[in-house]
Structure 1
């Protein structure tokens, strides 16, 4: 069974096309006498046109044909090629079945090409077993002639899904081919399955327009993508993976550098401890005693400075000089706040009219400073006797300090 034959005068004839791909009609090759001069494109044996019971048109080898690759292909394989050709045409491409490459080094099941001649893509239907090395070699031969490829299969466990651009397909319930595996996305630092059922024509439209590209993943992938290394994905997801891996590598370099510095620090500390435990030569012992004496003197001087500083701070406090900034809220400002609050104004309304008298910038105190000053004032009003006693004690201390000794 084949869908392509070569006519002696017309050239290639395609059974699945209404005009046979050469501007002719099917009745011109089917049931005509004498038989149409058709030959196999693979083995050059005579062929004749046939229509199956369900109306499918194809070409069959005449009796006595030699062993031919086209004759050995299954009906399932031929139907998948027809579906791929139809999907390619729906995607806006020109599609030919069973196209040979230069010098017969390769043969494409379906060759889809840009009507303007900008690109060519081979759509390969692969249902029979094949090794990864063989399919890689076939892909490389086509790519050498400028023809990229997409391999389609409806099988589940296919070993070559890891080495060539691929897509797993099935026939939809309402007819037509859909891609159920092969598309992927990279949302959160890992690869995961893309849309589950995309019409084959839409998938090919994305491939032809470079909206999805064949990308060999490096980051982790969720099942079933964990066993797939080449995925179809939008270019932005491939760029996201590159950025993500660069970030991980930078993080790992920082981690290794921190570990190296920590180990270096531990090494220096260990060497220092070991050096401290080494025996000191007899000639160095007088020098150690001298350094110990000066160290003791320095510690004594430091203690004297500390005691003098504390004594000075205590004397200043007894005189009422506690250091630090003067209060932001003066008595006049507090009196203004109390008076205006008594008239019914809020602190928020009063704040802009208050100006801090110190500092180069004339600005208003914060609301928290005003509320603290009000709280201190309320404490003073609540315990007037204690406040009066404290003022009297403070005046006595000042008088005693001013008196001659």
Structure 2
């Protein structure tokens, strides 16, 4: 049952305002004799003015009405359209009901005072699929008319399209748009950061905190009139939430929410922090990979150098050569012993040569596999240090540690 009608002489009449249009009062058409010439703007069938038991004014189709989308609207639907129109007018915009567009019809069409902007507000109380709403939303947006779908039920499409769910007061009045509260569809971003360098919510891992905020409901709920005014003023807008990345959404909100700019900025700050954390972790991983690669390369050099180094020590010291594990006291080089006396070290790590280690290496022979390694050790140990370079074939992959070799009188 529509809230507007086409008058043969006065044009469009709107039952939600006084006068209804072109100076026409309600009394001029309600139970008027002769009957007012009213027709439906949707189907063209005759209409007559009526009052609900609670005083809500509307128009009803005459008997034998054809199929019309406005036939069968419930009182709740009409009340919600009235509430939306009242909220729009309270916000200083013009509100027109049941306006037809290019392939769409708006329950309430809001138009800015300067006429440059329009927005549809749809009372959607009946069941409808997400795909249908997306299609209707796209048709309106193609005409430059954004839309907000309004319901008083928990619907699966809230968040799939720009929409809100409201809670009606127990005894709603005809003009009490502010009595309804928005209980779903709006959201705020709640920031949370770790106060220390180590991220408390990431197992105490070092590095910048990626943030642990989430989108949550607006508490306390705002009134329908407040939301409508905020949306029309541009202060409240739809925001596409992208789950994942570094932001934790607890609880996970709908992908499309109505929110304000500060909350979008807060989310962006946390997402940027998440990017910085990922960059930090990627650098840490890369550094870890380089470290592991350096260890593998050192192990491969030491394994390739062991046979010729053992042979040289055996000849010069004339005894069995013991090969011990690489250790910090030998700058992570492999020490060679004869009769429990150190004779040489295979490929020690230059950066691990401290003053104490340097003193321990004096008088020993150091074995290297590259000229670069020899020059680095010579700078670290001094010109008196004996360094032997063997040109050996270094394998791409070192053998697992713990392998026993029996060659040139060497035992392990």
What band does the TM-score fall into relative to the shorter chain?
A: 0.5 to 0.7
Matches for 1:197-346 after TM superposition, within 5 Å: 197-218=221-242, 219-223=247-251, 226-278=252-304, 299-300=362-363
Q: Deviations over 1:339-368 (max 9, x none)?
A: xxxxxxxxxxxxxxxxxxxxxxxxxxxxxx
Instruction: Tell me whether 1:182 sits opposite 2:185 in the alignment.
Output: yes
Q: Structure 2: where are the runs of 5+ without partners?
A: 192-212, 317-335, 337-342, 346-358, 365-412
Give TM-score scaled by structure 1 length: 0.66
Measure how far apart 1:282 and its partner are.
7.3
Shift of the 230–220 alpha-carbon distance from structure 1 to 2, 3 Å rule, reads farther
Which residue in the other structure is 1:2 paired with? 2
Q: Secondary structure, in 3 states, of the residue corresponding to 1:99?
A: strand
Q: Distance in 1 between matches of 2:361 and 2:306?
A: 24
Q: Secondary structure at the match of 2:71?
A: helix
Q: Any idea what SS the aligned residue of 2:262 has? A: helix
Shift of residue 294 of structure 1?
A: 10
SS in 2 for 1:277: helix
* Structure 1 unaligned residues grouped into runs of 5+: 302-405
Q: Runs in 1 of length 4+ with deviation above 6 angstroms?
A: 279-290, 292-298
**Distance (whole Å) between structure 2 residues aligned to residue 298 and residue 88 of structure 1:** 87
Taking the TM superposition and a 5 Å limit, the aligned residue runs for 1:47-86 are: 47-86=47-86
Normalized per residue, the structure richer in strand is 2
Residue 174 (structure 1) shift: 6.5
- What displacement does 1:247 show? 0.9
- Matched residues in 2 for 1:215 and 1:154: separation? 22
- Deviation (angstroms), 1:130: 1.2
Q: How big is each residue's C-alpha offset from its partner over 1:160-203, in whole Å with a ceiling of 9 and x where there is no partner?
A: 11221222112235743222233322231211221333222221
Q: Is the 8 A contact 1:180 1:196 kept in 2?
A: no
The structure where helix makes up a greater share of residues is: 1
State the 1:258 CA deviation.
0.9
State the Cα distance separating 1:286 from its structure 2 match: 6.4
Find the counterpart in structure 1 of residue 220 from structure 2. 196
Q: Report how far residue 9 of structure 1 moved.
A: 2.1
Q: 1:222 to 1:281 in 2, by over 3 A?
A: closer
- CA distance in 2 between partners of 1:51 and 1:234 (Å): 40
Distance in 2 (alpha carbons) for counterparts of 1:161 and 1:50: 33
How many residues of Structure 1 are paired with residues of Structure 2 in the alignment?
296
Pick which of 184-193 and 277-286 moved more. 277-286
Tell me what 2:201 maps to: none
Q: Any conservation in 1 of the 2:3–2:16 contact (CA below 8 Å)? A: yes
C-alpha contact (below 8 Å) 1:161/1:229 kept by paired residues: no
